[in-house]
């Protein structure tokens, strides 16, 4: 109880999430009932970080940063225009298609919104769409980034919930495509009602030229998947290979970055990674305190008493995560709740890969929900629109994502089929 109250108070006075979790944990150890020897605290903080799979977090950030700095994002928009432009809703469909393609390069929704999203919003506004709608499509489509591999949230989920990261990365592919299709359907419906323009169809040769021009960056997800599936790389090594591939493209093939810029990118990656990993270190301490308090056992017994069954439990988790996602930053929610909920799900016979996908998908929806949805903040600053007007335009996409969530919850095979077939 002390832990909960202290952490919430610390978060509400504006303390960094990591320190709030650490301070709350220490308050419980000092004044509460959790018995933790002081030597365990530094040990836990270091060992929580010193995990080989976690190296994938900075490496995926590096790959995305290098691709952005190399202007590869521009190349991603061309095939998206050629393929998705003729659909009803023209540039809005291109926006979603480009995010789907770009998600194969970056594993972070914020990176997607802040890099390719910037170009997408500008292109949509020039095509006659309102800034509010352009920002709404961009925020919604950015949620695809962490679902299709590579994915930083899946790496963190796999690490804190002890689930195969390689399988989780593969599992996100079909749900990522499904959510893209659902959002494209939403755009098509809106296009019919609002008479949005569509672009002239491209010839096969134009599509071929656009794809050929961007084929090298487009190969990144293929390298990842083939490497992991063939067993040649671990997921961590795959993230390092994706980074070195991005560096080779930027430094030697396109020659859009030099060594000095590369060193600056490394520095930026250090700061961005530290922001994520610092929270993970303290979440690891929090996990230790939770265990000492017997919280997972208590929750398991409570859920047993409710007699929910796997489907009832999944629905409860969906509701819980959507509510939590409105108030808590997705990474904080992931690191706090995954170690508690994942063992319960496993105990109820829910496939850990399926549960991981549903868990992360919920948190991605949270990224576009007020008041703390980080994607809302990013796109509203880029497009210079108010949160209220942005929310109004986002509603159809939130509905599309909720429908996708329901499908993913009730049809586990969408998440599990690829890992089962490719990594038996």
Partner 1 sequence: MRTTRYIAAATLHLATLCFIAMFGICIVNIAMRAIWDTSLGWSEEVSRYLIPWVTFLGAALLAGSGLHMTIVDWKDASGWRRTLLRAVSDVVTFVTLGFIAYIGWRYAMQMSGRSLITLPDVSMFVIYVSLPVGCALYMLFIVLSRFGLFPNELAQMYVEQNDPEDLS
Which residues, numbered 5-64, are part of the site for partner 1 (CB under 8 A)?
10-20, 22-23, 26, 38-39, 41-43, 45-46, 49-52, 54-55, 58-59, 62
Size of the site for partner 1 (CB under 8 A): 75
| Candidate segments 172-180, 216-224, 326-334, 383-391, binder of partner 1 by CB under 8 A | 326-334
Question: Taking the complex as a whole, how short is the minimal distance between the CB of residue 278 and partner 1, in angstroms?
Answer: 4
Between 93 and 273, CB nearer to partner 1:
273
- Residue from 226, 327, 370, 387 touching partner 1 (CB under 8 A): that is 327
Question: Taking the complex as a whole, how short is the minimal distance between the CB of residue 337 and partner 1, in angstroms?
Answer: 15
Could you tell me if 314 and 350 are in contact, meaning their C-beta atoms sit under 8 angstroms apart? yes
Question: Taking the complex as a whole, how short is the minimal distance between the CB of residue 359 and partner 1, in angstroms?
Answer: 19
Question: Taking the complex as a whole, how short is the minimal distance between the CB of residue 254 and partner 1, in angstroms?
Answer: 12
Question: Taking the complex as a whole, how short is the minimal distance between the CB of residue 215 and partner 1, in angstroms?
Answer: 18
Could you tell me if 221 and 145 are in contact, meaning their C-beta atoms sit under 8 angstroms apart? no
Q: How many CB atoms lie within 10 A of CB 24?
A: 26
Q: Which of residues 153-172 bind partner 1 (CB under 8 A)?
A: none
Between 39 and 195, CB nearer to partner 1:
39
- The per-residue DSSP string of 260-323 comes to HHHHHHHHHHHHHHHHHHHHHHHHHHHHHHHHHHTHHHHHHHHHHHHT-HHHHHHHHHHHHHHH
- Residue 242 structure tokens: 């994706």
- Residue from 2, 86, 118, 181 touching partner 1 (CB under 8 A): that is 118
- Residue from 211, 275, 316, 346 touching partner 1 (CB under 8 A): that is 275
Could you tell me if 143 and 365 are in contact, meaning their C-beta atoms sit under 8 angstroms apart? yes
Q: Which of residues 215-254 bind partner 1 (CB under 8 A)?
A: 233, 236-237, 240-241, 243-244
- Residue 187 structure tokens: 């755009």
**Cα–Cα distance measured from residue 184 to residue 172, given in angstroms and rounded to the nearest whole number:** 18
| Candidate segments 111-119, 149-157, 170-178, 189-197, binder of partner 1 by CB under 8 A | 111-119
- Residue from 215, 222, 274, 323 touching partner 1 (CB under 8 A): that is 274
- Residue from 87, 286, 328, 341 touching partner 1 (CB under 8 A): that is 328
CA distances from 373 to 24, 184, 329, 405 (A): 24, 22, 7, 18
Alpha helices for 144-258 (secondary structure H): 152-161, 165-171, 173-194, 204-213, 215-229, 235-248
Question: Taking the complex as a whole, how short is the minimal distance between the CB of residue 328 and partner 1, in angstroms?
Answer: 7
Q: Which of residues 280-309 bind partner 1 (CB under 8 A)?
A: 281
- Residue from 2, 86, 127, 420 touching partner 1 (CB under 8 A): that is 127
**Cα–Cα distance measured from residue 198 to residue 176, given in angstroms and rounded to the nearest whole number:** 24
- Residue 348 structure tokens: 């109820």
Residue of 357, 105, 61, 107 lying closest to 222 (CA atoms): 105
Question: Taking the complex as a whole, how short is the minimal distance between the CB of residue 63 and partner 1, in angstroms?
Answer: 11
Four-CA torsion 166, 169, 171, 172, nearest 10 degrees: 180
Between 263 and 298, CB nearer to partner 1:
263
- The per-residue DSSP string of 369-381 comes to STTT-HHHHHHHH
- Residue 256 structure tokens: 């859009």
Question: Taking the complex as a whole, how short is the minimal distance between the CB of residue 35 and partner 1, in angstroms?
Answer: 16
- Residue from 5, 212, 215, 264 touching partner 1 (CB under 8 A): that is 264
Instruction: Look at residue 402 and give its three-state secondary structure.
Output: helix
């Amino acid at each position: 109880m002390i832990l909960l109250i202290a952490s919430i108070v610390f978060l509400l006075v504006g303390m960094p999430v990591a320190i709030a979790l650490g301070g709350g944990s220490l308050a419980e150890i000092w004044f509460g009932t959790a018995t933790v020897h002081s030597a365990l605290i530094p040990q836990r903080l270091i060992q929580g970080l010193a995990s080989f799979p976690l190296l994938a977090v900075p490496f995926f950030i590096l790959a995305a940063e290098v691709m952005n700095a190399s202007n590869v994002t521009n190349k991603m928009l061309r095939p998206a225009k050629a393929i998705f432009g003729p659909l009803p809703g023209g540039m809005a469909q291109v926006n979603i298609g480009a995010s789907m393609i770009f998600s194969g390069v970056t594993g972070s929704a914020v990176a997607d919104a802040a890099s390719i999203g910037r170009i997408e919003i500008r292109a949509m506004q020039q095509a006659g769409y309102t800034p509010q709608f352009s920002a709404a499509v961009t925020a919604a489509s950015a949620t695809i980034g962490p679902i299709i591999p590579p994915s930083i949230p899946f790496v963190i989920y796999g690490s804190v919930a002890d689930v195969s990261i390689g399988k989780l990365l593969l599992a996100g592919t079909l749900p990522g495509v499904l959510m893209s299709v659902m959002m494209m359907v939403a755009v098509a419906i809106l296009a019919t009602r609002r008479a949005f323009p569509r672009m002239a169809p491209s010839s096969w040769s134009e599509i071929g030229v656009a794809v050929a021009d961007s084929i090298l960056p487009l190969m990144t997800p293929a390298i990842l998947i083939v490497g992991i599936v063939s067993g040649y790389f671990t997921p961590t090594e795959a993230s390092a290979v994706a980074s070195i591939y991005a560096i080779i493209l930027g430094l030697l093939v396109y020659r859009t970055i030099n060594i000095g810029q590369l060193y600056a990118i490394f520095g930026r990656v250090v700061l961005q990674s530290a922001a994520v990993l610092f929270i993970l270190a303290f979440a690891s301490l929090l996990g230790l305190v939770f265990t000492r308090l017997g919280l997972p056992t208590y929750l398991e017994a409570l859920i047993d008493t409710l007699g929910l069954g796997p489907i009832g439990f999944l629905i409860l988790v969906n509701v819980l995560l959507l509510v939590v996602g409105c108030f808590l930053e997705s990474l904080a929610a992931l690191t706090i709740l995954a170690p508690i909920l994942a063992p319960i799900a496993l105990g109820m016979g829910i496939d850990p890969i399926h549960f991981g996908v549903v868990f992360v998908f919920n948190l991605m929806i949270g990224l576009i929900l007020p008041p703390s949805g980080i994607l809302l903040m990013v796109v509203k600053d880029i497009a210079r629109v108010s949160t209220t007007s942005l929310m109004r335009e986002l509603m159809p996409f939130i509905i599309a994502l909720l429908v996708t969530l329901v499908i993913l919850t009730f049809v586990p095979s969408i998440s599990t089929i690829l890992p089962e077939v490719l990594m038996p």
